[in-house]
Amino acid sequence: MPEASFDVVILGGGPGGYVAAIRAAQLGFSTAVVERESLGGICLNWGCIPTKALLRTAEIAHLLRDQAKDFGFEIGAWSFDLAKVVARSRRVAERLSKGVTSLMKKNDVRVFFGTGALAAPGLVTVRAADGQVRDVGARHVILATGARARTLPGLEPDGERIWTYREAMLPEALPASLLVVGSGAIGIEFASFYRQLGSEVTVLEVLPRILPAEDEEISKLARKIFEKQGIAIHTGAALGAVEKGADGVTARVTLADGKETEIRAERVVSAVGITGNVEGIGLESTRVVVERGHVRVNEWLQTGEAGVYAIGDLAGPPWLAHKAMHEGVICVERIAGEDVQPLDVTMVPGCTYSLPQIASVGLTEEKARAGGRAVRVGRFPWLGNGKAIALGETEGLVKTIFDAQTGELLGAHMLGPEVTELIQGYAIARGLETTQHELMRTVFAHPTLSEAMHESVLAAYDRVLHV
């Protein structure tokens, strides 16, 4: 007999898992979470939150080094204490993890610490770190075990010379040189952080351009800005043998033009994607289907096994905490019989917290055209925005894409100051099925960065005012 039984048991206490637990409790379900490490998961403890704390340090370094004189400050020599930089990021993560613990108590969610696995229909086995095993009954099981960094053959992390995101967040010393393999959001954020603190940074990408999920125009402009900052970037580049030595790493690389070269660096950060944590959770004897490292689900997050669901990174892209949270709510509300809508992933905004920031939602221009859409495209540079000029942050642009026939906002893509905060405006507009008419008639406060969003919409219809 199980030690305890619940309406909903969730394997994983990350953003998707703990949010699903809270919503389940709100709906009157008896709820439990099984977590093997710390509540909050990778995002809160080793990803989204602590990296943003580190990147805030990079922003301050940029202000002190590059802009202080423009603002009338004479700062002379300055330095930073890397140990304190890292310690602050860990305090931020720990504070929020404790906050999730409080939320579990507030919502009467039972937390079991250990590794959970499906043992039989309606039964979950929890194995604690001390070896103690508990059986927990569950009417519904939500798999929210997340994902881990994917590794390339020959680039296996060793915690010393070759890092994953975890080691990159806990440097004991600033590497004089760093090679970042992979130019998605994670790779670019670490490249930006270390470059702003003074490391010589090289980014290696096998695809033709960096930030391959972003709009091509934004990607190309971002590359120009990063290279201006001193980041060396190689796209269309194939990584060959990697040799570790006493003082660093030597990577053999075939460049886009076919030439071979060697890149030497003190440390390497492997940021080549993720794979779902599908092992050890009891899927083998179920009808749950695993495809390319992720669990296959339908629009309601149901797996092939009755009463078993999967959300977040485990269920596939986009691999974003806010997508996992939203899926957790959809999943639980569907179980409860609520009137819910399946998630449209084109409504999920993506953000990269580099310097400058990058944010987007919806279709890229190339995807819209490839889908047979006739489009109208608006662009507005930050050089024309008064608030951006006052802030001293004028690199980048705002780009909006509309259906030429219906006026539907198909996508928005932004590169520049605080765009990760601004993108929600376009996300709301898409959710409300707003057309260009409503956006053009909206009054945007002056002076604000958001005015650039308005101007980009106007530009798509040849009505731009400030360029």
Element (H, E) at 204: strand 200-204
Q: How many CA atoms lie within 13 A of 427 on its CB side?
A: 20
Distances (CA, A) of 419 to 51, 143, 416, 430: 17, 32, 6, 17
Nearest one of 415, 379, 404, 161 to 264, comparing CA atoms: 161
Element (H, E) at 430: helix 419-431
Nearest one of 134, 144, 203 to 329, comparing CA atoms: 144
Q: What are phi and psi of 271, to 5 degrees?
A: -135, 60
Enumerate residues 6+ apart whose C-beta is below 8 A from 123: 2, 135, 136, 137, 138
Q: What are phi and psi of 432, to 5 degrees?
A: -90, 0
CB 320 within 8 A of CB 184: no
Nearest one of 217, 181, 249, 234 to 358, comparing CA atoms: 217
Chain-centroid distance of CA 5 in Å reads 34
**Residue 71, number of CB atoms within 10 A of its CB:** 9
CB 427 within 8 A of CB 344: no
Active site residue 140: no
Q: One-letter amino acid identity for 180?
A: V
Chain-centroid distance of CA 269 in Å reads 17
Catalytically annotated residue among 62, 326, 413, 446? 446
Query: Using CA atoms, how far apart are residues 192 and 188, in angstroms rounded to an integer?
Result: 6
Query: Using CA atoms, how far apart are residues 21 and 28, in angstroms rounded to an integer?
Result: 11
Enumerate residues 6+ apart whose C-beta is below 8 A from 91: none
Query: Using CA atoms, how far apart are residues 442 and 440, in angstroms rounded to an integer?
Result: 6
Distances (CA, A) of 402 to 217, 255, 368, 369, 460: 16, 37, 9, 11, 8
Beta bridge partners of 118: 124
Q: Which residues are catalytic, by number?
A: 446
